[in-house]
């Protein structure tokens, strides 16, 4: 096959309608703090089955805001997975809290709920499950533990917009659910994020936190406001929300395409001895944010580099957080602490998966992986 442009692991899909909606906003009165914000929040909340949504400038800002309004502060602990993007734990550190990591399940690569209860202390405030690759965690077990110990469940669903757990949409059951609209995620606003909740108190506080901690008190004058706790400028703009509203209309189609590609990969790779394909449990409908395979018995690094030479822009999700220098130094974690996460990481490669991918590109990725791992049709690997 002729050499083609590098195929990235993820990519946005913007069309003329998205662009038209942005131009409309740019020609109007409100660039920020205007009506598109609430329109977007309501549309996403409705789609996910949540009462309220608060749109912010990124998924990271959404995590920080959620932890803050949950009252997570200095000396507190949250329980989460080391197999996530850094922001899940970093945002807890912003609040002065300690991320207590729990090893993952080897099948879904999600937090192992059986290990959570043993790590709860008087300082634990929240369980923060991450729906890795778009596959929801086992929420029945997680909620049992959370209710028993009076803990909040703050779900990092940045991989999982549109996914379902036992028929229920992600965003409809956790105390707060976090979304990201980075270009590699299911829908994009360039940068952007959202907190979903059914809790009115959290909703009010999130809006205040997003806007400097400003609380308006009109009884004391139309201009008058007070600050009880300094917040941030975590606002998103109206033109970003206009893209988001337009993108949301295509979300189901996007997810359907992601699923189709994942199915093609599954079929192509399931009989290759040295590849472990992702699992989808019967209780789950994955939103297929990424397609992570594990290479067994062959050098992951070598395979990864060979893919790049063939213009397949693979990725690795993620370097486990507990072996990051910061988390080792600050919290005393070390290599060997979470063997399942480490074993997954050693073999992990994320293959390209995004709705705009053409059939030809999908086939090219399949052929490239096979070419690297299989010699002469025999199951003889590098």
- Residues labelled catalytic: 185
Residue 265 neighbours by CB distance under 10 Å = 23
Residue nearest to ligand PLP (CB): 59
243 or 268: whose CB is closer to ligand PLP?
A: 243
Stretch that binds ligand PLP, among 156-164, 266-274, 339-347, 371-379 (CB under 6 A): 156-164
Q: Which is nearer to ligand PLP, 87 or 293 (CB)?
A: 87
Q: Give the three-state DSSP class for 262.
A: helix
Contacts of 286 (CB under 8 A, 6+ apart): 133, 134, 135, 136, 160, 163, 259, 262, 278, 280
Nearest approach in angstroms of CB 248 to ligand PLP is: 16
**Interface residues for ligand PLP in 310-369 (CB under 6 A)?**
none
How many residues interact with ligand PLP (rule CB under 6 A)? 14
Shortest distance (Å) from residue 207 CB to ligand PLP: 19
Segment 176 to 195, residues that bind ligand PLP, using CB under 6 A:
180, 182, 193
Q: Is residue 210 at the binding interface for ligand PLP, with CB under 6 A as the rule?
A: no
Figure out which of the listed residues 22, 36, 37, 60 binds ligand PLP, where binding follows CB under 6 A: 60
Q: Is 58 in the site for ligand PLP (CB under 6 A)?
A: yes
Q: What is the closest distance, in whole angstroms, from the C-beta atom of residue 186 to ligand PLP in the complex? A: 11
Closest CA to 68 of 198, 200, 231: 231
Task: Decide if residue 158 touches ligand PLP (CB under 6 A).
Answer: yes
Residues 6+ apart with CB under 8 A from 186: 161, 162, 251, 254, 255, 258, 287, 289
- Residue 60 vs 368, nearer CB to ligand PLP: 60
Helices (H) and strands (E) in the chain, counts: 12, 15
CB 160 within 8 A of CB 48: no
Residue of 13, 3, 7, 2 lying closest to 355 (CA atoms): 13
Rg (CA), the chain: 21
Least distance from C-beta 87 to ligand PLP, angstroms? 4
∠ CA 319-324-329, nearest 5°, is 165
Crossing angle of helices 238-248 and 16-26, rounded to 10°: 150
Segment contacting ligand PLP by CB under 6 A, of 39-47, 57-65, 195-203, 216-224: 57-65
Out of 68, 80, 81, 88, the only residue in the binding site for ligand PLP (CB under 6 A) is 88
∠ Cα 11 15 20 (to 5°): 135
Q: Which is nearer to ligand PLP, 180 or 294 (CB)?
A: 180
The Cα 255–Cα 277 span in angstroms is 19
| Residue 205 lies near ligand PLP (rule: CB under 6 A) | no
Indicate the residue among 239 and 269 with the shorter CB distance to ligand PLP: 239
User: Mapping DSSP to helix (H, G, I), strand (E, B) and coil, where does residue 304 land?
Assistant: helix
Closest contact distance (angstroms) between CB of 359 and ligand PLP is: 27
**C-beta of 158 vs 272, nearer to ligand PLP:** 158
Token duo for residue 236: 């998103």
Tokens of 166: 């036992």
Binds ligand PLP by CB under 6 A, chosen from 10, 59, 347, 355: 59
Closest CB to ligand PLP among residues 159, 211 = 159
Which residues ranging from 129 to 148 are in contact with ligand PLP (CB under 6 A)?
A: 130
Torsion of CA 84, 111, 150, 202, to 10 degrees: 30
Q: Which residues bind to ligand PLP, rule: CB under 6 A? A: 58-60, 84-85, 87-88, 130, 156, 158-159, 180, 182, 193
């Amino acid at each position: 096959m002729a050499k083609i442009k590098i195929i990235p692991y993820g990519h946005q899909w913007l069309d003329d309608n998205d662009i038209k909606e942005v131009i409309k906003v740019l020609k109007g009165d409100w660039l920020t703090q205007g009506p598109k914000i609430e329109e977007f929040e309501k549309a996403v909340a409705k789609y996910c089955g949540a009462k309220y949504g608060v749109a912010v400038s990124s998924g990271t800002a959404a995590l920080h805001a959620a932890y803050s309004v949950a009252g997570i502060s200095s000396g507190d602990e949250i329980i989460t997975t080391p197999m996530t993007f850094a922001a899940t734990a970093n945002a807890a550190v912003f609040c002065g809290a300690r991320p207590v990591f729990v090893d993952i399940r080897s099948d879904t690569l999600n937090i192992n709920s059986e290990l959570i209860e043993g790590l709860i202390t008087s300082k634990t405030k929240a369980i923060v499950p991450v729906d890795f690759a778009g596959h929801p965690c086992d929420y029945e077990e997680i909620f049992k533990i959370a209710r028993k110990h009076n803990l909040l469940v703050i779900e990092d669903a940045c991989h999982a917009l549109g996914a379902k757990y036992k028929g229920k949409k992600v965003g409809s059951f956790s105390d707060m659910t976090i979304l990201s609209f980075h270009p590699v995620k299911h829908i994009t606003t360039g940068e952007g994020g959202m907190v979903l909740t059914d809790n009115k108190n959290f909703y009010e506080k999130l809006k205040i936190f997003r806007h400097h901690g400003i609380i308006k008190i009109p009884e004391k004058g139309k201009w008058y406001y007070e600050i009880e706790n300094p917040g941030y400028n975590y606002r998103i703009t109206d033109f970003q929300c206009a893209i988001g509203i337009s993108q949301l209309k295509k979300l189901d189609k996007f997810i359907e395409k992601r699923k189709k590609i994942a199915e093609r990969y599954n079929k192509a790779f399931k009989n290759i001895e040295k590849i472990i394909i992702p699992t989808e449990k019967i209780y789950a409908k994955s939103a297929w944010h990424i397609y992570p395979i594990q290479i067994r018995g062959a050098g992951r690094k070598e395979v990864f580099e060979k893919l790049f030479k063939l213009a397949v822009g693979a990725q690795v999700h993620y370097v486990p957080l507990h072996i990051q220098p910061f988390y080792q130094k600050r919290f005393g974690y070390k290599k060997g602490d979470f063997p399942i996460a480490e074993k997954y990481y050693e073999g992990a490669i994320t293959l390209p998966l995004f709705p705009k991918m053409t059939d030809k590109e999908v086939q090219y990725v399949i052929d490239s992986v096979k070419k690297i791992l299989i010699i002469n049709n025999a199951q003889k690997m590098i």
